[in-house]
Structure 1
Amino acid sequence: MNLAVVLVSPKTPGNVGAAARAMLNMGASDLRIVAPRCDYLDSQALAMAVHAGDLLRSARVFPTLREALGDRDLSVGTSARLRADLPAPRHPALIRPMVRQAAAPALVFGPEETGLINSDLEQCQVTVRIPTGNYASLNLSQAVLLVCYEFLQGQDEPIPVTRKTATREEMEAMYSHLHETMQLIGYTDAVRARHTLRLWRAMLDRGLLSSAESRLFRGFLRQVRWKVEDAAARGTTSARTGAAELEPTQEE
């Protein structure tokens, strides 16, 4: 399985090295690090990696999570907490079929002290939570080991034939386009925009759009912009109007 493990802003070199070792144990080899706050190749990291030193040295570093996920077609975030406006975390085993059907899945872990923040989880189509006892604090490498085990243990089973879904970069570009269009037509305002876009993200991510479908949707958005700007140029209406009456409510 082409599973990438993404560590967002790790703080401790030893944790990165131990995470690389956990990946090697489970058969994952694509390590990506976003904005590291440490030297992930120092002696402590290499010592904790043990035989995964080559995996650690081949890790790719990215300035942002969006860039790290750009070529992935499924991103799975990790969180132990419920977040407002975001889907509740699910057991990793329940996500396994979705991960195994993806061509290029990614598993995303947050900083050791805080975990992933909301803006990171927005870029993940689904979130998992590792079930624990009352004491729910796991070391980063432990979390990597457990979730990789859940996703990779059944890799010898036949993989269902499925269509290729859009990459996360294609989806993020589509969401940026959607946000611009919402503001153009007055569908939402600056105060409600984030909540509204989260609802749209949740709905469209469930659809697992293909690249062609994401382009189709963006073609519709371009036509909306052309129609609004054409009407404004002819003086029949303004480019921006008041908020739409069908604006989603908080209860939705």
Structure 2
Amino acid sequence: MNLAVVLVSPKTPGNIGSAARAMLNMGARDLRLVAPRCDHLDSQAVAMAVHAEGLLREARVYPTLRDALADRDVSVGTSARIRADLSPPRHPAQVRPLVRAASAPALVFGPEETGLVNSDLEQCQVTVRVPTGDYASLNLAQAVLLVCYEFLQAEDETPEYHRKTATREEMEAMYGHLHGTMRLIGYTDAVRARHTLRLWRALLDRSLMSSAESRLFRGLLRQVEWKVGDAARRGTAESRGAAGEADGATGD
């Protein structure tokens, strides 16, 4: 499976190295770092990676999570907390069939101190939580090891079908388009827009759109925009015509 592990703003080299080792243990090799706060090739990182040093050196660094997920078709966030307006986290085993049926899935982990923030989780189609005892705090490498195990090594039934879904870049572009269209037609305003778009994200992400379906949806949005613009142009033309008639009547 082409599973990418994405670490958002990791703080310490040792945690990155340990996470790389956990990935290699479970058979994952695509490490992506988003705005890291340390050098991922620091000697501490290399020491903690042990035999995963090669994986560290091949890691790609991105400025934003959106960039890191651009070529992925399914993205899975990790969180131990329930967030307002976002679907509650699920057990990794429940998400396993979705991940295994994907062509290019990604597993996203947040900073050590805070985890993923809401704006990060919005870019993930589903969120998972590692079940623990009363003490729920896991270090980064432990979390990477456990979730990678569930997705890559745990036994499961073979998915009934494989479906190529749209990349996250295609979906994010569609959501940006949707946001603009909603504002254009007065469906929402600046105050409610973020909450409203979260609800639409949750609904549309569950559909696992293909690239063609995302283009189809954007075609509808373009038609709405054209119709609004056409109505505005017609209204302007009619206003000018009425003004002209009024001027003629005055001239008589």
TM-score (norm 1): 0.92
Counterpart Cα distance in 2 of 1:163 and 1:150: 21
1:153 Cα shift? 1.0
What fraction of aligned residue pairs are identical, expressed as a percent? 82
The equivalent of 1:80 in structure 2 is 80
- Report whether the alignment pairs 1:208 with 2:223: no
Counterpart Cα distance in 2 of 1:122 and 1:236: 40
Partner-residue secondary structure (3-state), 1:215: helix
Structure 1 residues 221-240: aligned runs within 5 Å: 221-235=221-235
- Report whether the alignment pairs 1:131 with 2:131: yes
Partner-residue secondary structure (3-state), 1:7: strand
Structure 1 residues 1-252: aligned runs within 5 Å: 1-154=1-154, 158-235=158-235
The equivalent of 1:248 in structure 2 is none
Counterpart Cα distance in 2 of 1:160 and 1:63: 37
Counterpart Cα distance in 2 of 1:156 and 1:57: 32
Which has the higher mean CA deviation after the structures are superposed, 6-15 or 152-161?
152-161
Q: 1:197-224 CA distances to partner (integer Å, 9 max, x unpaired)? A: 0110000000000000000000000000
1:161 Cα shift? 2.6
Q: 1:115-147 CA distances to partner (integer Å, 9 max, x unpaired)? A: 000000000000000011111110000000000
Q: Specify the code of the residue in structure 2 equivalent to 1:160.
A: E
Counterpart Cα distance in 1 of 2:146 and 2:95: 13
Counterpart Cα distance in 2 of 1:56 and 1:148: 17
Partner-residue secondary structure (3-state), 1:127: strand
Partner-residue secondary structure (3-state), 1:90: coil
1:160 Cα shift? 3.4
Counterpart Cα distance in 1 of 2:114 and 2:83: 13
1:156 Cα shift? 8.9
Q: Specify the code of the residue in structure 1 equivalent to 2:199.
A: L
Counterpart Cα distance in 1 of 2:156 and 2:57: 28
The equivalent of 1:242 in structure 2 is none
Counterpart Cα distance in 1 of 2:154 and 2:90: 18
Counterpart Cα distance in 1 of 2:156 and 2:135: 34
Partner-residue secondary structure (3-state), 2:94: helix
Counterpart Cα distance in 1 of 2:160 and 2:105: 15
Counterpart Cα distance in 2 of 1:116 and 1:82: 12
The equivalent of 2:249 in structure 1 is none
Q: 1:13-56 CA distances to partner (integer Å, 9 max, x unpaired)? A: 00000000000000000000000000111000000000000000
TM-score (norm 2): 0.92
Aligned Cα root-mean-square deviation (Å) = 1.4
Partner-residue secondary structure (3-state), 2:204: helix
Q: Specify the code of the residue in structure 1 equivalent to 2:35.
A: A
1:234 Cα shift? 1.3
Which has the higher mean CA deviation after the structures are superposed, 150-159 or 198-207?
150-159
